[in-house]
Amino acid sequence: MREENVAQLQQLIERERQARKEAEQVSEEKIRELTLANQLLQRHLDSVPCIVVALDSEGCISMVNRAACALLGQPESALLGQLWFERCLPQPSGGSVQFPLFRQLVAGDRLAREKLSEYAVIDSKGQPRLMAWHIGLLTNQTGEIIGTLSSGEDITEQKLAEAAVAESRNLLLKIIDTVPARVFWKGPDLRFLGCNTAFAKDAGMQSGDDMIGKDDYQMAWAAQADSYRADDRAVMASGVARLHFEEQQTTASGETVWLRTSKIPLVNDHNETFGVLGIYEDITEYRRIEADNGVHMAELTALNTMLIEAQNQMLRSVKMASVGRLAAGVANEIDNPFAFISSHLVALKGHVADLLSVLEAYQKAEPALATHADLLAAIEQAKSAADLDFVQQDILNLITESLDGVHRVKTIVEHLKDFSRVETAEWRLANLEQALENTLSLVWNEIKYKAKIKKDYAGIPEIECLAPQLNQVFLNLLINAVQAIDERGIIVLRTGFDDNEVWVEVGDTGQGIEPEHLDRIFEPFFTTKPVGTGTGLGLSLAHSIVQRHGGQLEARSKIGQGTVFRVTLPRERLIDKDD
């Protein structure tokens, strides 16, 4: 029995040994599988560019990848088992602020994960590197949290760049806020992406942030929104800036102001338009000043015109005064010689007439010499040599023409005297239409072969005037009219009146006066007539006479169509202290 028991015991031992051996083989195989799996996992983790760290429930490092070792500057062997939050993290105030959050996380507080999503580690150079963390919880077969697996991405440079961008953006916004112009920018949907404070206040907002997402229809200038948005679309569609145009806007205060606006398309790095930038300045005050300046300029222009007219009048007066003194001297010098020349010619004409009558008596006695043939032949020869028939006919014509020439010279002398006011006429009531008729009769012989007279008289009332002097004015105007007509034309005489004035017009269908000459035709000695056909004193004298009567002498003319001179005189005499 004992042997059987021993045999059975040996069998049991053998089976147990065999079972242990098989179990050991299975365990070794699982260990190898786990080891291979760990090695494969480690290779995968080492290939990840970001750092990966596994922590147990106490916060000690249980696994770390190659990227983490490189960043921390320590081998894996030096890191495993170390307390992560004490060795690898900055320790402000002597303790880790993240470790309590870690303890909360492994205890099941999932809100702590968000708080641990971003914190710094100390790199190999002892500098903190800000990391963005993605944290996963490690659990056992029963679901109990036994640690964490975290991947961290270095965002230090990104954060620095973001900080620099934010700083630049804040600086840019401050700069935009300091400029006096209003600045805004919109997106492709024409909603505001931002603006400076000045623009926001025009819209009735406190700051540019209040404008973001809104459009023009929500602003104080909603009535102009369609026009503004049409401009924005045109600028974005064309890609071409629209600069310095003027428009109106209604501000939050209800005031309508003038703006000088520029709109520029916003383009990204791919040359795609993604919005529009607007810049404008309030030019309402400039507009007001400009309008005031326009009024002032008009006033200055009018004043300058008055000054120029006054200067021209002064120069004309100076010229007239000088010519007056010259005229007085010339008139006095030549008046007496021409007086006795005229007298002698009149006497000579009478004597020649007497001689011709005596000669005629002798001619009648010639038949009585028929018996004295030699004497009669001598007389005939003398008559033939002297061309007696022609002399008899021409001598009186020559004396008559000489008297006409003397009369013309005497007229010029009288003009000079009138111009210099050596002689004065008497003021009396006169009918200017009758005066015009009397003057017309004097020059009818010069007019009738060149012009037809048309009359349009209004029956003007009598006025107190210096009639002889006004006759001289009409004479000059009529002579000028007929001389302006080349072959045949029309001279129109027209009169009119109102409660204050009477006027007389002398018009012709002649050559007309060049525009550059119209301002000079009343200057003394200025003439457009050929040399020897005009003295240049007629219109100047007429102008002086009309001015003395308190009136105006004006001319209007068109080349090739003719000229009209208008004499305008007051119905009531303006008393002159020199009269």
Instruction: Provide the residue type at 208 as one letter.
Output: G
Instruction: Provide the residue type at 45 as one letter.
Output: L
Contact 239, 267 (CB under 8 A): yes
* Bridge partners (DSSP) listed for residue 122: 128
Phi, psi of 258 (to 5 degrees): -100, 135
How many angstroms separate the Cα of 172 from the Cα of each of 35, 192, 198, 266, 434?
58, 17, 15, 16, 89
- pLDDT tens for residues 190-243? 999 889 888 888 888 888 888 899 999 988 888 888 999 999 999 999 999 998
Whether the per-residue pLDDT at 396 is higher than 80: the answer is no
pLDDT at 13: 55
pLDDT at 491: 94
Question: How large is the C-alpha radius of gyration of the chain?
Answer: 62
Question: Average pLDDT in the 503-528 region?
Answer: 81
Mean pLDDT is lowest, of 214-223, 361-370, 553-562, for 361-370
Instruction: Provide the residue type at 48 as one letter.
Output: V
Output the 3-class SS for 527-572.
CCCCCCCCCCCHHHHHHHHHHHCCCEEEEEEECCCEEEEEEEEECC
Give the Cα-Cα-Cα angle 185, 191, 192 (nearest 5 degrees). 35
- pLDDT tens for residues 274-304? 999 999 888 888 888 877 777 777 777 777 7
- Using a pLDDT cut of 90, give the percent of the chain over it: 19
pLDDT at 422: 37
Whether the per-residue pLDDT at 378 is higher than 60: the answer is yes
Closest CA to 458 of 498, 420, 419, 425: 498
- Average pLDDT over the chain reads 80
The half-sphere exposure of 338 on its side-chain side, counting CA atoms within 13 A, is 19
Task: Give the SS3 label for residue 166.
Answer: helix
- The H or E element spanning position 439 is helix 432-442
Question: Please, which pLDDT band fits residue 532 given cuts at 50, 70 and 90?
Answer: very low
Whether the per-residue pLDDT at 463 is higher than 80: the answer is yes
Contact 419, 323 (CB under 8 A): yes
Give me the sign of the Cα torsion angle 136, 141, 144, 147.
negative
End-to-end CA distance of the chain: 188
How far apart CA 493 and CA 564 sit, in angstroms, is: 10
pLDDT at 265: 94
Question: Average pLDDT in the 16-32 region?
Answer: 60
Q: Which residue has the tokens 């959050």?
A: 101
Contact 192, 175 (CB under 8 A): no
Instruction: Provide the residue type at 88 as one letter.
Output: C
Tokens describing residue 291: 């309008």
pLDDT at 380: 75
Contact 518, 555 (CB under 8 A): yes
How far apart CA 496 and CA 457 sit, in angstroms, is: 7
Instruction: For strands 451-456 and 489-497, give the pairing.
Output: parallel
Question: Average pLDDT in the 252-274 region?
Answer: 88
Q: Residue 202 CB: number of other CB atoms within 10 A?
A: 24
Mean pLDDT is lowest, of 25-34, 137-146, 564-573, for 25-34
* Bridge partners (DSSP) listed for residue 495: 504
Contact 493, 508 (CB under 8 A): no
pLDDT at 462: 93
Whether the per-residue pLDDT at 415 is higher than 60: the answer is no
Question: Average pLDDT in the 406-414 region?
Answer: 68
pLDDT at 354: 74
Whether the per-residue pLDDT at 423 is higher than 70: the answer is no
231, burial (CB in 10 Å: exposed 0-12, middle 13-18, buried 19+): middle
Tokens describing residue 550: 């308190």
- pLDDT tens for residues 100-144? 899 999 888 888 888 888 888 988 888 989 999 999 888 888 888
Phi, psi of 558 (to 5 degrees): -135, 130
Q: What is the DSSP string of 335-380?
A: HHHHHHHHHHHHHHHHHHHHHHHHHHHHHHHGGGGTT-HHHHHHHH
Q: Select, from the ranges 210-219, 301-310, 408-417, the one with the highest average predicted confidence (pLDDT).
A: 210-219
178, burial (CB in 10 Å: exposed 0-12, middle 13-18, buried 19+): exposed
- Using a pLDDT cut of 70, give the percent of the chain over it: 79
Mean pLDDT is lowest, of 1-5, 172-176, 234-238, 271-275, for 1-5
pLDDT at 233: 93
Q: Select, from the ranges 19-23, 83-87, 286-290, 366-370, the one with the highest average predicted confidence (pLDDT).
A: 83-87
Question: Please, which pLDDT band fits residue 251 given cuts at 50, 70 and 90?
Answer: confident
Question: Please, which pLDDT band fits residue 24 given cuts at 50, 70 and 90?
Answer: low
Contacts of 431 (CB under 8 A, 6+ apart): 460, 462
pLDDT at 15: 63
* Better pLDDT: 32 or 404: 404
Question: Average pLDDT in the 41-58 region?
Answer: 79
* Bridge partners (DSSP) listed for residue 120: 130
DSSP state of 83: B
Q: Which residue has the tokens 């007051």?
A: 570
Contact 44, 28 (CB under 8 A): no
